């Protein structure tokens, strides 16, 4: 018999990170630091469930409770959190069919109306059989070679040329912990979004909070590229164990021909290799990412929905897209 229950009492950072370290599917997004980041940046209530089978804890499910009027939502994770994965951490002995059945029971028992799960190990075929809704997404994943020469060799011919050209052009690339990084990054990010007459999808304060949570733990790589002492490109990547995940990048449009973005990504991958990282999830679509030796991977969002909320959510999203398109044309 398998069942899911709320974890009683509180748990500290060392205890939680020690617990989840036993699970190969653990990501940066499951760590205590990241859960705190979501709590503070989104103003949400964290909840951790224990997955129990035969009176033994065989997994954990962290997530957050979202309340929209009478609607109660469980996000693990939820769109808009700059959080690619979360969902359950399970022992190999746990039949996923039992997990999905009990997850539905949990949602009903705790009166959730809607929930989303996304991680690398959940079996979408089983989820479909249990009547969950499946949404496809895309990311690009690269194997990080052990040294700079091998990393560069894994790139496409055009990408190798870009990196070498950037070096010849005198660009200087550095890993930094300088507090001014956030100012350069966000200014460039605003410029990138302005091209589409939009604003960034997250605030500058969220970037500051991310740095505050992850820099002391050495779980973030902040990269900037300089030309003639001017910062012309920035990027943020997170590392945890064998994986690096991209958070975002931005650059000054007046210097794109110097290829600072390609140099910044190459540098981040070299730093990650030095720290023992083996895989790089570039987070999200963009066919250009394949030139960095990556492979297109389909990921899945598994959705529990009562009372047609999923279809209402999609209707609302489409209305927002239409409104933005009309606004862009008017402007």
- Do both 253 and 304 map to the same domain? no
Percentage of the residues of the chain whose pLDDT score is greater than 70: 93
User: Domain containing 252: what range?
Assistant: 145-277
**Segment among 159-168, 274-283, 310-319 with least mean pLDDT:** 310-319
Answer left, alpha or beta for residue 319, where phi above 0 means left and psi between -120 and 50 means alpha.
alpha
Within 8 A by CB and 6+ apart from 250, the residues are: 185, 186, 188, 189, 191, 192, 233, 234, 235
- Do both 237 and 312 map to the same domain? no
301-323 average pLDDT score? 63
Choice between 79 and 34, residue whose per-residue pLDDT is larger: 34
Q: What was the pLDDT predicted at 68? A: 87
| 161 belongs to a structural domain | yes
C-alpha–C-alpha distance, residues 187 and 251, integer Å: 9
| 126 belongs to a structural domain | yes
Q: Check which CATH number belongs to the domain holding 210 and give it.
A: 3.40.630.30
Q: What was the pLDDT predicted at 198? A: 83
93-114 average pLDDT score? 95
- Do both 35 and 83 map to the same domain? yes
71-86 average pLDDT score? 94
147-165 average pLDDT score? 97
β pairing state of 114-117 and 71-76: parallel
| 217 belongs to a structural domain | yes
pLDDT of residue 331 exceeding 70, the answer is no
Three-state DSSP at 225 gives strand
pLDDT of residue 142 exceeding 90, the answer is yes
Distance of CA 45 to the CA centre of its chain: 19
Q: What is the pLDDT of residues 202-240, one digit of tens each?
A: 999 999 999 999 999 999 999 999 999 999 999 999 999
Q: What was the pLDDT predicted at 314? A: 57
- Do both 173 and 225 map to the same domain? yes
| 293 belongs to a structural domain | no
pTM of structure: 0.91
- Do both 71 and 159 map to the same domain? no
Binning pLDDT at 50, 70 and 90, where does residue 308 land? low
Find residue 67's DSSP bridge partners: 72
| 288 belongs to a structural domain | no
| 177 belongs to a structural domain | yes
| 290 belongs to a structural domain | no
Percentage of the residues of the chain whose pLDDT score is greater than 90: 84
- Do both 89 and 38 map to the same domain? yes
Q: What was the pLDDT predicted at 33? A: 97
- Do both 120 and 150 map to the same domain? no
Q: Mean pLDDT across the chain, nearest whole number? A: 92
Binning pLDDT at 50, 70 and 90, where does residue 197 land? confident
- Do both 7 and 130 map to the same domain? yes
Q: What was the pLDDT predicted at 324? A: 44
- Do both 221 and 188 map to the same domain? yes
Q: Number of structural domains, the chain?
A: 2
β pairing state of 133-143 and 89-90: unpaired
Three-state DSSP at 56 gives strand
- Do both 175 and 102 map to the same domain? no
- Do both 27 and 70 map to the same domain? yes
Question: Quick one: 190 exposed, middle or buried, by C-beta within 10 A (0-12, 13-18, 19+)?
Answer: middle
| 130 belongs to a structural domain | yes
Choice between 331 and 126, residue whose per-residue pLDDT is larger: 126
What single DSSP character describes residue 145? P
- Do both 80 and 14 map to the same domain? yes
Within 8 A by CB and 6+ apart from 244, the residues are: 144, 221, 237, 238, 268, 269, 272, 277, 279, 280, 281
């Amino acid at each position: 018999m398998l069942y899911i229950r709320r974890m009683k009492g509180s748990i500290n950072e060392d205890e939680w990170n020690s617990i989840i370290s036993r699970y190969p599917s653990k990501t940066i997004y499951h760590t205590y630091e990241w859960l705190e980041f979501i709590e503070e940046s989104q103003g949400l209530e964290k909840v951790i469930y224990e997955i129990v089978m035969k009176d033994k804890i065989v997994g954990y499910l962290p997530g957050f409770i979202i309340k929209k009027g009478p609607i109660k939502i469980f996000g693990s994770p939820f769109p808009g959190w700059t959080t690619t994965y979360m969902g359950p951490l399970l022992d190999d002995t746990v039949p996923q069919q039992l997990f999905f059945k009990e997850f539905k029971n949990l949602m009903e028992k705790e009166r959730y109306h809607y929930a989303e799960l996304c991680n690398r190990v959940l079996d979408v075929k089983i989820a479909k059989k249990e009547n969950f809704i499946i949404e496809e997404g895309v990311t690009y994943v690269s194997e990080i070679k052990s040294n700079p020469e091998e990393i560069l060799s894994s790139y496409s011919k055009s990408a190798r040329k870009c990196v070498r050209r950037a070096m010849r052009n005198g660009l200087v690339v550095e890993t930094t912990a300088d507090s001014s990084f956030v100012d350069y990054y966000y200014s460039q990010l605003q410029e990138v979004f302005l091209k589409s007459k939009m604003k960034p999808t997250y605030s500058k304060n969220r970037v500051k909070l991310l740095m505050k949570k992850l820099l002391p733990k050495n779980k973030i790589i902040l990269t900037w590229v300089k030309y003639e002492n001017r910062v012309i490109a920035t990027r943020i990547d997170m590392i945890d164990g064998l994986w690096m995940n991209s958070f975002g990048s931005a650059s000054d449009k007046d210097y794109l021909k110097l290829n600072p973005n390609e140099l910044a990504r190459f540098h981040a991958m070299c730093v990650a290799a030095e720290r023992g990282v083996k895989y790089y999830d570039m987070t999200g679509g963009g066919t250009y990412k394949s030139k960095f030796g990556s492979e297109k991977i389909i990921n899945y969002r598994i959705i529990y929905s009562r009372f047609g909320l999923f279809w209402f959510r999609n209707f609302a999203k489409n209305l927002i897209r239409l409104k933005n398109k009309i606004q862009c044309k008017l402007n």
